[in-house]
Structures are given as C-alpha cells and as structure tokens.
Structure 1
Amino acid sequence: MPLPFLTADRAFETADDVALPYHDRDRWRRPYRPGPWRVGAAAILLLLASFVLFSAVIIAATASPSSAGMVFGVALAVIVGALRLLRMGTWVSAHGLRQVGLFTTRTTPWDQVVAVRTVQQPVRWLGLPRTVQGQALLLVRRGRSAASTEQLLTSHNADFLGRSPAFDRAADSVEVWADEYRRD
C-alpha cells in the first residue's frame, strides 16, 4: 500500500538545475522526507495499536460487544494519531504554504507571504520546552495590523534532528517556492 505522504518526491534531491521540478504544481507536496524521530514514534504508535486491536478481538470473543467496541475505538484513535503524526510538516503548492500540525492545519496563500528566510535562533528540541541554538525557517506574512512571524521548520525538530543537510535542502526548497509564487 503506497503512502505518498511518507516519502517526498525525489525531484528535490536530484534536480539541481530546475528550481521547481514538478509538472503538477497545484498538488500539495512536502519538499522533504519525514525524519527518523517522527517515523519511529509513528511506528511505535502503530505497534501499540496492533496490540490494542488484538485485545479488542479477544474482548469481543469473551466479553460484551460494547467493551470490544470501546477498545476498538481506542485503537482507531491511536492509528489516526500515528497517521496524523506522519502528515505533520510544511507543505507547498502553487496555491500557498500549508503548515500541518497534529490538530490543526493552516494554509497561507502566497499573496499573504512577505518573506521566507532562514535565521539562527534558539529553537525547541523535538518540540519539547528545552531550547537549543539552531536554525529556523521563518514565514513572515501579512497580518491585519502588522507582519507576523511563524516558524515553519527548525533544525532540531523531529524531521531534521541530526540531519542538517536535509534541513538546508528543505529550507532552500521552501524559499524557492516562496520566491517563485509570492507577490510583492
């Protein structure tokens, strides 16, 4: 079963002469692969879900169907959480820039983007409260009163921890998309 959100297209890694190497630019794409921390956490959650599903089958055979249904619902919630964890990240298309979080998704059209730039600053380590010195890709967008700044990617999140060349490629790719489509 192919999972297209799990792997980024290889065109970003192989096409150095073409800035935006996609034929269908209207499709949402993540210009990088999910990191080992994110994939490992999702794999552990799916392993846990398999045990919960197995226990739901045992409960269905020996106890009441309502108890089995409740345990089955917990297993489905864990599976949905693991798949949502794999979809988290920054996605780009000709329509704009999309930030997918665990519970929310925010899409910013390119005409709202003022700048996308990489800066050195303290960043959160794996999303925890602890901060370390690292790089962040910042989105500066037009707000109602002033320009607001948001972090898109960091060098120490679950996708790029220990993979600084991958962070540089992903940041460069998002910056190229922003330069191509934003309007000043």
Structure 2
Amino acid sequence: MPLPFLTADRAFDEASDDVALPFDDRDRWRRPYRPGPWRVGAAALLLLLASYVLFATMIMALAGSLSAAGISMALALLIIGASLRLLRVGAWVSARGLRRVRFLTTVTVPWGRVSAVRTVQQPVRWLGLPRTVQGQALVVVRGTDTALPLLTTHNADFLARSRAFDRAADGIEVWADEYGG
C-alpha cells in the first residue's frame, strides 16, 4: 500500500537543482516535508489505544451488552479519527495558497495575500505545550503585517531535526517565490 505522506520530501531530495518545484500536479495540496517521529509516535499510540477499545467493544458485544458496546465503538472511532487528524496537522502548499492545519482548525491563505515568508528567531512552544523555548519559526506575513507561524524547530515534526526544518522552510519559501504576490 503506498503511503504518500512518507515520500513528501523525497521529491526534493531527488530533484535536480534546475527544478525548483519537482511536483507535476501543483494544484494538489501537499506537505513539503515528512511528519516527524513525535507526531507519528503519538498517532501510533492512539491507534494502539483504539485497538484495545475495539477489543473491549467485541467482548461487550459478545457478553450481550449492546448499548455499552455501541458507546465503546463510538469512542474507538473517535480515537481513530483523532489519530488521523493528528497526522494531517502541519503546513500544506499548493498553487492556490498556503494552508496551516491544526488539530481543530485550518487556516488557508491564498498566495495573493502572502506578503513574505521568512524564518525568524523567537520563543516557540515546545511540542505545542505552554512551555516556550528559544527557537526558529517559519512565519507567513499576510497583508498588513499579521504574521502566521507555520513551522517551528520545536514542534512535533521538527524537534531535534534542524536539517529537516531548514529543508521544509526552504521548500515553502520556494513555493512562495513561485506563486506569491
């Protein structure tokens, strides 16, 4: 079974230097980097928890408690949905614009409204928790100086992977140069 999210930045690795955007279908939303090990690990743990809940659901159904089995099944489906959404969190690009997907919200900025994409040194949240540390963030400046942080060096995709952060930031900056207003 092909897993396209694992091959996201291979296209950048294999592309020659004369091709800035190595993708054929630029209208398709894509993440220009691989999900990090913290994100994949958390999703795997959620799926493991869902398997235990599904096993409990089967035991409850065989014991004859169908209402409890239904509630347990709904909980398992909620956990599976949360793990899939967790894997989709991140920055996505296409010819239409730039998209920041969070766990509960999604913000899409058309390239015409993007003034600049730049990497800045600032306090960033560590793994999305309230604790902040000094790090780098890739921010998108929209219109009248409203900055939208896309990526940080300390989020679940790039913690302890500074080269991957630099490659992803460079990839998004290339998309902004190509399609930005």
One fold, TM greater than 0.5?
yes
SS in 2 for 1:99: strand
1:48-86 alpha-carbon deviations (Å, 9 max, x no partner): 000000000000110321110110000000000000000
Q: Which residue pairs with 1:10 in the alignment?
A: 10
Identity of aligned residues (%): 70
Q: CA deviation at 1:113?
A: 0.4
For 2:177 and 2:3, locate their aligned partners in 1 and report how far apart those are by CA, in whole Å: 29
Kindly tell me the number of residue pairs found equivalent between the two proteins: 180
Pairwise CA distance, 1:9: 4.5
Residues 87-133 of structure 1: CA distance to partner in whole angstroms, max 9, x if unpaired?
10000000000111111111110001010000111111101111111
Q: How many Å separate the matches in 2 of 1:81 and 1:7?
A: 22
Q: Which runs of 5+ in 1 are unaligned?
A: none
Q: Could you report, residue by residue, the CA deviation over 1:113-158 in whole angstroms, capped at 9, with x for unpaired residues?
A: 010000111111101111111110001012xxx3310110000000
Which runs of structure 2 are paired with 1:44-59 in the superposition (5 Å)?
Answer: 44-59=45-60
- CA separation in 1, counterparts of 2:121 and 2:12? 24
Q: Secondary structure at the match of 1:29?
A: coil
Q: Work out whether residues 6 and 86 of structure 1, in 8 Å CA contact, stay in contact via their aligned partners in 2.
A: no
SS at 2:20's partner residue? coil
Q: C-alpha separation between the residues in 2 aligned to 1:121 and 1:176? A: 22
Q: Structure 1 CA distance, aligned partners of 2:11 and 2:5?
A: 15
Pairwise mapping of residues 51-130 of structure 1 onto structure 2 (< 5 A)?
51-130=52-131
Task: Tell me how far apart the structure 1 counterparts of residues 82 and 12 of structure 2 sit (CA, whole Å).
Answer: 28
Q: Which amino acid aligns with 2:123?
A: P
- TM-score normalised by structure 2 residue count: 0.96
Which residue is equivalent to 1:168? 166
Deviations 1:33-56 (A, max 9, x none): 000000000000000000000000
Structure 2 residues not aligned, in runs of 5+: none
Q: Which runs of 4+ in 1 moved over 3 A?
A: none
Equivalent position amino acid for 1:14 in 2? E
Paired amino acid for 1:15: A
Q: Say whether residues 1:149 and 2:147 are aligned partners.
A: yes
